[in-house]
Chains A and B, each alone.
Chain A
Amino acid sequence: MSGPRSVLLNMPLPAELAHLAAKEGVEVDRAWLTTATDLNLAGSYERVFLLAETDRLVTLALPDKSGRPATRICLARQSISEIRTRQGVGGGFLDALVDGIYVEVVAYSNARADVFHKTAAKLKSWLRGIQPDVGPEDDADPRRCPKCGMMLEFKGDLCKRCINRGAVFVRVLRMMRPYTGKAVVMMALVLAGIGLSLIPQQMIRVLIDQVLAPGQAGNLPPANATTWLLALVAALLGIHVVMAGIHMIMGRLASFVGTQITFDMRSRVFGHLTRLGVDYYDRYNVGQLMSRVAGDTEQMKGFVHQMTSGFMAQMITVVAVGAVLFSLNWKLAMITLLPAPLVVTAAIFFWKRIYPRYFRVWDANSKLHGTLNTILSGIRVVKAFGQEHREQNRFARSSGYVRDSFRGVEYTVTLFNPSIGVLFQLGGILVWFVGGQWVLAHDLTLGKLMAFLGYLGMFYHPLGQLTQLTNWLTQFLTATQRTFEILDTNPQIAEQDQPRPLLEKGGSIRFENVTFGYSRHEPVIKNVSFEVAPGEHIGIVGKSGCGKTTLINLLARFYDVDEGRILVDGIDVRELQLQQLRAYVGVVLQEPFLFRGTIYNNLTYGQRDATPEQVLSAAKAANAHEFIIRHPLGYDTYIGERGAGLSGGERQRISIARALLYDPKILILDEATSNVDTESEQLIQEALERVTAGRTTIAIAHRLSTLKNSDRILVVDNGQIVEHGTHEQLLGQKGLYYKLVKIQTELSREPSVDALSNRKP
């Protein structure tokens, strides 16, 4: 083979195996595809190679002692009628359909699953007689980190191994940039406060040594002493007053900056969350996200607080007081530091053993949120099945887990912190012991010793607090990291840098060989192609779970296709501005979601500036007007969470009206009238026909009578379009559609279904 080669699909055979294979007649050099799996068909680890020659499929492995040939399986292309991959548990198989039976050709573990999905796709076109290209482009995989090759949780996810952690602090500081002025003032105040707090001990030293203690060398005469005493006391008072003032201003500033940064962070996180693709929400529990937005961002406030009165201030205090201690008496200062190594050891112990227990607490908390959220949003189901008691227990378990994990940590911490406290006191006791002897021996003045002990208090207290620094720091870093994680997740539905404008013309749709799967192993939509002309009315039918809604999700670009492309008016949807696309394509979702608010607000959700006249006519068309007007407050009726207070059909009708008001070029109705009675449906159909005239419409329905006015019907089965045509054509084909119609006609004697066979002018 010439040309660039793929690492994964053009693997070289080991020399020994190549030699054996050649002896057995395998044309190793002429194989257009060679790849390896890690398992044999018995499910144990073994390196087995798969080769595709021009017209044979061969698997090869080094022979074991039994002396069987290197060729394990050899299938002629003519004998294979189909290739597929089949997902097992922890692995999968590549199967070939031979003589009507699926034969396992290769087994692989999930580590190799992607390679074999790709291989299967190549082999499929090979079966159809099209020689596929194999090249380096086959090695690229959007579901792996391009830097380290790690499997990502979903396309566009951030590789958790590659993100730069050190940058977190820098980013936090960068968020403070708009408040630089205030932050500088704040820090200046912190320094001033600490500087001032150092003075009183010096004054006490003077007080004791020079003013109070009589009979010592250098004492002042009694008359002067009284004046000095008064002056010193007044100065002390003054200093405390000034310090109080500083703290007041500092506290206000800190509160302002802290709350403001939290607010900024929250807005950013929330803004980003709304931009993230729908698939992000498939992975993350809403309760967990809520605790991130509400709780983790709160840490930003903590950060500012720590700067002014927490660890940052304490650190500066420790350094400043330490300097003063050394200048007072360096020998004593050294003694106070004797327990330091023990403290460091204790801190390391804390990091390694105690800190991990906090994980449990945070996990418990976020689980509690999740449980609460699930139970409360599903309260109707809970009540319907009479499971209040069970949910009470479930919640109690969750809540108990929080309690226990908190206790677990706090019990340990309450043991740990006092022990550390004793370590610190050790230093003070040593000072009393040594310094006291020096005073007795007149090597040290009493004032100095007292000042020293005073400073020592100022030194130890923050130092003791600093042992919690790691504790706070990790908590802060973890929370901030979690927040930044959201901010860094690429919206999987990426906006084009230079989107192409949609020309306001037809509203044509074209699917070209579209393949898509929610999870990486299972395509839900398989190589689907179809075209919808401007203004055409299309119906889509098919069994539940066959992929109808998925087609819509792709068209509205809630998800991006894996292969192929979708064109709207001749432009790939990925090249359009999302905003524009969504304005162009209006979707009535299968599960109508209404927000808490008035009916009017819900109706005008996509079109805030709609006039009351427009609202009325949309509601009328959706057959919603009559039931709305029956409510005492009419359109101003307040509805609860998810549309509580309305019936299923009423909710659907509101969501149809909402879409109509939006006035999209392409209207999509996914089971939009499934909960509406047949008579209302008839009315809605008529109204829809009026408003959808000239508008491209795609309607999905199980009730086939709903689609009787469609120009064309697509029948979807197992992710593929198996039939398409008008109602009559499809009936004539006697295929799946015919079968569905027959079943529905037998099931109900509704006139609308009977009308199926003689409808349409």
Chain B
Amino acid sequence: MTDEPTQPESESGPDPTRVRYLTPDSCRIHLGTHGALHVTVRDERIYGGVYAAYAFPVAYGDQFISLLHSAGEGKDVEIGLIRNLSDFPPQQADLVRQALARRYFIHTITRIHEIGWKYGFVSLDVETDKGRVQFMMRWKSDRAVDYGRRGKVLIDVDENRYLIPNLDALSPGERADFTRIIYW
């Protein structure tokens, strides 16, 4: 690759003490070599190997998305924050959404077929956006954490994540079964 500017990173780049908001005017999000996500910031440089992260995954889903550039191990720098993804052209916004989907590997539970408890483990058989899944989780409060006001994130024994966005959206039977075991 030769489209990398040769300036040393410490000289060019965002001010690390200040939040910078990226706008469609100031930057362009595109794909580069090997399908890696790139961001070109006007009057600055092209950043390759970019990934995206939610600043407030629960409170503000589509807003405040951080774009980060990995400059080496432990040296990831934030290029800037996107205040609102919908401000960007759909194509660019989609690229960011795909990057988010890659980073956040989370199952969203839509139905609970079965939930059981045995000796400190909860076994679940659920319907998710990624298909039907069975998993086991430790029966401990830090394995099922609150998500917003009425949601829960379950973390299984392999540390995979399962999201119930809203308990009230489950059927009363499922909810009763669920809260009997995961009561906190």
Contact = CB atoms under 8 A, between A and B. Distances in A.
B1 A90 contact: no
Interface string A73-107: 10000000010101011110101001111111001
B70 A160 contact: no
Contacts of A526: 73
Q: How large is the interface on B (under 10, 10 to 19, 20 to 34, 35 or more residues)?
A: 35 or more
B119 A90 contact: no
A279 to B, nearest CB: 15
B18 interface: no
Interface in B93-136: 98, 101-106, 117, 119-121, 130-131
Contacts of B102: 41-43, 88, 93, 104, 107
Interface in B134-184: 138, 141, 157-161, 180-181, 183-184
B184 A363 contact: yes
Nearest to B100: A43
B48 interface: yes
Interface string A705-724: 00000000000001100000
Contact of A101 (B1, B103, B158, B180): B1
Contact of B158 (A111, A161, A357, A359): A111
Contact of B121 (A93, A99, A110, A160): A160
Given A39-B105, A43-B101, A718-B73, A104 B160 contact: no
A101 B36 contact: yes
A300 B103 CA distance: 49
B32 interface: yes
Contacts of A107: 102, 105
B74 A719 contact: yes
Contacts of B184: 360, 363, 367
- Secondary structure at the A interface, as helix, strand, loop or mixed, is mixed
B161 A89 contact: yes
Given A43-B101, A113-B159, A104 B48 contact: no
A618 B34 CA distance: 63
Contacts of B32: 101
Given A45-B130, A101-B36, A109-B158, A84 B105 contact: no
Interface in B30-85: 32-36, 48-49, 51, 70, 72-75
B33 A101 contact: yes
A103 B180 CA distance: 45
Nearest to A526: B73
A150 interface: yes
A40 to B, nearest CB: 10
B35 to A, nearest CB: 8
B141 A100 contact: no
A44 B130 contact: yes
Contacts of A90: 104-106, 159-161
B157 A151 contact: yes
Given A160-B121, A356-B180, A356-B181, A103 B36 contact: yes
A596 interface: no
B11 interface: no
B4 interface: yes
Contacts of A160: 119-121, 138
Contacts of A151: 157-159
A165 interface: yes
Contacts of B73: 82, 84, 526, 718
Contacts of B34: 73, 98, 101, 103
B183 A161 contact: no
Q: How large is the interface on A (under 10, 10 to 19, 20 to 34, 35 or more residues)?
A: 35 or more
A86 B70 contact: yes
B74 A359 contact: no
A99 B1 contact: yes
Contacts of A91: 105, 160
Given A45-B130, A718-B73, A99 B33 contact: yes
Contacts of A109: 105, 158, 160
B154 to A, nearest CB: 11
Given A89-B103, A95-B70, A356-B180, A101 B161 contact: no
Contacts of B72: 82
Contacts of A88: 102-105
Contacts of B106: 89-90
Interface string B13-43: 0000000000000000000111110000000
A569 to B, nearest CB: 33
A43 B105 contact: yes
Contacts of B131: 45
Contacts of A360: 183-184
Contacts of B159: 90, 110-111, 113, 151
A559 B74 CA distance: 22
A100 B157 CA distance: 36
A46 to B, nearest CB: 11
B33 A363 contact: no
A100 B72 CA distance: 9
Given A90-B105, A151-B157, A161-B121, A363 B36 contact: no
A103 B102 CA distance: 13
Nearest to A485: B120
Contacts of B48: 100-102
Given A89-B103, A160-B119, A160-B138, A150 B130 contact: no
Contacts of B36: 101-104
A42 B33 contact: no
A86 B75 CA distance: 12
A113 B157 CA distance: 12
A93 B73 CA distance: 13
A526 B106 CA distance: 29
A107 B98 CA distance: 13
Nearest to B183: A360
B105 A100 contact: no
Interface in A97-151: 98-104, 107, 109-111, 113, 150-151
Contacts of B183: 356, 359-360, 363
A84 B70 CA distance: 11
A43 B48 CA distance: 20
Contacts of A718: 73-75
A160 B36 CA distance: 42
Contact of A42 (B101, B119, B161): B101
Indicate the member of B119, B121, B158 with the most A CB atoms within 10 Å: B158
Nearest to B73: A84
Contacts of A150: 157
Given A42-B101, A45-B131, A363-B141, A100 B1 contact: yes
A161 B184 CA distance: 22
B121 A103 contact: no
A731 to B, nearest CB: 19
A41 B160 CA distance: 17
Contact of B160 (A86, A93, A101, A111): A111
Contacts of B117: 356
A109 B160 CA distance: 7
A88 B181 CA distance: 29
Indicate the member of B1, B75, B159 with the most A CB atoms within 10 Å: B159
A749 B98 CA distance: 51
Contacts of A86: 51, 70
29 contacts: A41-B35, A42-B101, A42-B102, A45-B130, A73-B34, A82-B73, A86-B70, A88-B102, A88-B103, A89-B103, A89-B106, A93-B102, A95-B49, A95-B70, A99-B4, A99-B33, A101-B34, A104-B36, A109-B158, A110-B158, A111-B158, A151-B158, A160-B119, A160-B121, A357-B180, A363-B141, A363-B183, A718-B73, A719-B74
Interface of B: 1, 4, 32-36, 48-49, 51, 70, 72-75, 98, 101-106, 117, 119-121, 130-131, 138, 141, 157-161, 180-181, 183-184
Given A90-B104, A110-B159, 11 more contacts: A42-B98, A43-B102, A88-B103, A88-B105, A90-B161, A99-B33, A101-B32, A151-B157, A160-B121, A356-B117, A718-B73
Q: Pick the 7 closest A-B CB pairs, nearest first.
A: A101-B48, A102-B49, A99-B1, A111-B158, A91-B105, A718-B74, A90-B105
